[in-house]
Chains A and B, each alone.
Chain A
Amino acid sequence: MKPAPFDYSAAGDLSDARRLLAGGAAKPVSGSQSLGPMLNLRLARPGRLVDVSALPELRAVAETAGAVTLGAAITHAEIEDGEVPDPTGGWLREAAGNIAYRAVRNRGTLGGSLAHADPAADWLIVMTGLGATAIVEGPQGRRRVAIEDFAVGPFVTALGAEELLVAVEVPRPGAGASWGYWKFARQVGEFAKASAAVLLDRQKGRLRCAVGALGRPPLLLGDPEGLIEGQVSPAAALRAALPERPAEALVLHVTALTRALAQARGGEEGR
């Protein structure tokens, strides 16, 4: 379990990183919590790793009236510990604090997790629930990608070969908004077997119900209002959205969605 040979460069700033990443054979690395094991198993064999964990642009935080933009190289632990502003008033901190275990959180980064696009990982489903936007920079300049368009398959994103995820813009919820995020991991530190996030933000007109850990990008359900109001059952919603899957394969996801909905409604059952 030793990696194949590779070169390593620590980028000083974003333009340096873009120069090093040019050509597409190099791979950006930040906390190395997912890439590291893949290197050791020789499943990933980049010719060069470009360390982007210290880029000022990826460590930056920007606040506006409507949103907070978090640099991609901000760690889970920094979010957990409140070292960066949490536009949701604690939802991000709580989600961060339940990612894997502390050793992973100390090194793992928000952007690294999203760019890795593991279907069972936390940030992808949480950001989908919150309606976040990915800020991407590449040879053609900077572009914004709605988070539901960012992951396009398991471990596959909309990032071009030379593009880099720079930051994530998280909208501030309106007054009275509530949130539910529930994941089922059998053991502390495991990836989720099923997860769901529910945002109930009537002031800003944002109702979102997303289901994760489906072996594909998060599923953003079409009729959040019906689910939240209880007119559509979680089982029916999932069956309609994923007709090709047998019901028994969705049992855990139905439970996750049920419990996330209950949390958002303020019920005890979601805990």
Chain B
Amino acid sequence: MGSEVGDRSGGKGVGARLQRREDERYLRGRGRFVGDIRLPGMLELAFVRSPVAHARVRRVAKPAEGGERVFAAADLTGVSGIRADSGLPGFRSSVQPILAGDKVRHVGEPLAACLAETRALAEDLAERVELDLEELPAVHDMLRARDPGAPLLHEHWDENAFLESAVEVGFEAAVAGAAAVVRRTFRTARQCMAPIEGRGCVAVWDRQLEQLTLHSATQMPHIVRTGLAGCLGLDHGQVRVVAPDVGGGFGYKGVLLGEEVCAAWLAMKLDRPVRWLEDRREALTGGANCREHHYEVVGYAAADGELLAVDCRAIVDSGAYSIYPFSACLEAAQVASILPGPYRMRGYRCRTWSVCTNKPPILPFRGVARTGVCFAMELTMDALARELKIGPEEIRRLNLATPEEMPFTNITNKYFDSGDYPEALRRAVEAIDLPGLRARQRAQDPAARRRLGVGFSIFCEQGAHGTSVYHGWGIPMVPGFEQATARLTPDGGLELRVGVQSHGQGMETTLAQVAYEELGVDPAKVKLVHGDTALTPYSTGTWGSRCAVMAGGAVAAASAALAGRVRAIAGHLLQARPDEVVLADGVARAGGAEVSIEEIARTWYLKPQLLPPDADPRGLEATEGYKTARDTGTFSYACHAVTVEVDLDLGQVRLLDYAIVEDAGTMINPMVVDGQVLGGTVQGIGTALFEEMPFDAAGQPLASTLADYHLPVASDIPAIRILHMETPSPLSRFGQKGIGESGAIGPPAAIANAVNDALATLGAEVAEIPLTPERVLRALAAAEPRRA
């Protein structure tokens, strides 16, 4: 793995390549996860889950022995189901029951909760619960979900769709002069997110505080608190949510689960701690679903390669319920608004449907809709290039927004804050050695059964987008200001308190680097307090590639406010004006004199007799809020370039080389950026080649273990090279841009384009991921008659 940008700071602040402080704990197995929490008297929870996709519940019969430890829907008094309504007109509302009462709408939906001293005994108990279900026809195919006469999941609806939307800008006029028109149908599989740690929680009722504490593997403790309080009818003051170490999230842990509400209710009802630890089968068959999109795209271009217009009909399989807090419509809302991406075009039309099917609810996964959108758009660009007989790099170069156009507002009014997209493309073309590759392709034996191909994808990642964007998308959760607290301790240590939650992002390191910029306190002396609603400011949490920008900005603001107070005390001690005091390396200096920050803190807390009578009474603790200059988001971007070898006899796709040119704006810690890009890219390779949760016509999920659900493994991954550009954002505190999801967006498009490049002379084309051998062989077989 290579990176072009070195350590510029030479120090410990923004730009420093500091090793992650949290890794010592993680790598030695000393983290503390939900599964490590054991409380006296704790009961383990196992769910009886629906074995069928769609049924009326006639009866849930508790066993004679142990039945008092079994709870069904009717037992859950005072509990509301989960509701997350889009603010857009026409939305059809669903209520996700905590335990299904009258109807089940997907396999794996919880029907009864069973408690025992161990999980194994709880599963034994669950096995003895008898279900009487009247099975109904299932809606398993999103393309048929809205057919007249399709069985209705929510019977008061008129059709199985949460929401339909339409955008049209200058479309008819734009397509008039098109010389090339390509029509394609694209499909992305339903996937399951697979963090190493699954979901889980421990709920405990504190009689003294009259407060419920939910320890949860979550990315957003404050939002879980709000959702949980709502479902249980509790005041916020009666609910505390604590996220301990969390072993990856990727979006799966950005959702309030009915299982958490159920565990919390049980802990209150029984006055005993209750723990639920999801197992992999629960996650795969009933939980972590994401990604399933279908696109019909028509691309229009002029003879000179100018992209004129794009027309799209997109269907997202949103599953059975609208999930809290993102709703059933986040994916489709993003599809319509981000499909044009960084390209100029004259006309655009897009209709989307968030359809409702008998599958688990679709959840946001790293990249959210962008991965599917990038796949659809970038394969369309390559199809146009082939139609026009120009190179894939050429059609992109002709149509990408240029640096001179920045800030660029695209056809859907996305405001691109900064960047040089053509340069990223140029560097990627160079890194992958496109001319050399083309020469090798020309030298290939025309009868060769292994073919080389090269593919590109270029895309933007809107991150840290705020109030206006989410309100505009109708998402029930709208982020506002982000806050942070900075507090010096009497020994000169620094506590940072943030409402976001670090579950692998390295924030214990990067936010300490941000504070160092303002305060000069060594990151080794910084304690990040996060993941606990009782200890941190309210926040929507960690999602949407927002933390570096929003929490980074808030920490900088709080640290700057604190620095002002430190300077005031330092000025008094050094007999200098506060504005003459410089903070660096743990020391305050003015003129030739200096005093350590430790001494300043000790003076404030323990030796106030040394302070002047008019000392600032607010002390060495500051909470500040932050919002970017505009809330339209930072736009990081990347160009992925990949070479593949396709085995025509096996349909096997092997990745030979992979280069990424990435622009994250100012990097707080280049090693952390590399880690994010690399991890995301591996997940994107999984999307491109392996990951798929098939369902049969009855709505049964067909991959119930990791032997059937294929994740990318080390031996599938080539040496990925990451090259950085650094175009600062004018919107954020240090010029940093959100980058967390970027890696997961580009690979399916780049890899599929490379496969299509390899197969181009055979007339074969793939348009559906993952690119399993079966799909590649099918594409080859479909091309046979065309070649004949």
Contact = CB atoms under 8 A, between A and B. Distances in A.
Bind each other: yes
B777 A248 contact: yes
Given A248-B777, A251-B649, A252-B773, A186 B690 contact: yes
Contacts of B281: 1, 41
A77 to B, nearest CB: 19
B444 interface: no
A191 B772 CA distance: 15
Interface in B688-723: 690, 704-705, 707, 710, 712-713, 715-716
Contacts of A258: 649
B650 A187 contact: no
B423 interface: no
A189 interface: yes
Interface stretch (B118-126, B336-344, B615-623): B118-126
Interface string B739-779: 00000000000000000000000000000000011000110
Nearest to B121: A2
B307 to A, nearest CB: 36
Interface string A12-53: 000000000000000000000000010001100000000000
B650 A189 contact: no
B710 A187 contact: yes
B713 A188 contact: yes
B777 A37 contact: no
B649 A190 contact: no
Interface in B624-675: 649-652
B645 to A, nearest CB: 14
Nearest to A189: B713
A37 B707 contact: yes
A210 B778 CA distance: 26
Interface residues of A, number: 22
A2 B120 contact: yes
Given A2-B119, A2-B120, A37-B705, A251 B710 contact: no
Contacts of B704: 41
Contacts of B130: none
Given A1-B279, A2-B120, A41-B281, A186 B713 contact: no
A3 interface: yes
Interface in A232-247: none
A5 B773 contact: no
Contact of A184 (B119, B650, B715): B650
Given A41-B281, A184-B650, A252-B650, A193 B715 contact: no
B285 to A, nearest CB: 11
A258 B650 CA distance: 12
A52 B54 CA distance: 45
Contacts of A1: 279-281
A193 B773 contact: yes
A3 B127 CA distance: 11
B773 A186 contact: yes
| A interface majority secondary structure | loop
Nearest to A184: B650
Contact of A186 (B707, B710, B781): B710
A152 interface: no
B518 to A, nearest CB: 47
A234 B441 CA distance: 29
A190 B617 CA distance: 65
Contact of A188 (B124, B715, B772): B715
Nearest to B119: A2
A100 B382 CA distance: 38
Contacts of A191: 707
B309 to A, nearest CB: 38
A2 B713 CA distance: 26
A179 B651 CA distance: 25
A263 to B, nearest CB: 15
A24 to B, nearest CB: 23
A255 B710 contact: no
Given A4-B124, A41-B281, A184 B652 contact: yes
Nearest to B122: A2
A243 to B, nearest CB: 20
A187 B716 contact: yes
Nearest to A269: B449
A255 B781 contact: no
Interface in B111-153: 118-120, 123-124, 127
B124 A255 contact: no
Contact of B715 (A5, A187, A251): A187
Contact of B781 (A2, A42, A248, A252): A248
Contacts of A252: 650-651, 773
22 contacts: A1-B281, A2-B123, A3-B120, A4-B124, A41-B281, A41-B704, A42-B127, A184-B773, A186-B652, A186-B690, A187-B712, A187-B715, A187-B716, A188-B713, A188-B716, A189-B713, A191-B707, A193-B773, A248-B781, A251-B651, A252-B651, A255-B650
Given A2-B123, A4-B124, A190-B710, 17 more contacts: A1-B279, A1-B281, A37-B705, A41-B705, A184-B652, A186-B652, A186-B690, A186-B773, A187-B710, A187-B716, A188-B715, A188-B716, A191-B707, A251-B649, A251-B777, A252-B650, A254-B649
Which 6 pairs across A and B sit closest by C-beta, in order of nearness? A2-B120, A255-B649, A188-B715, A1-B279, A2-B123, A1-B281
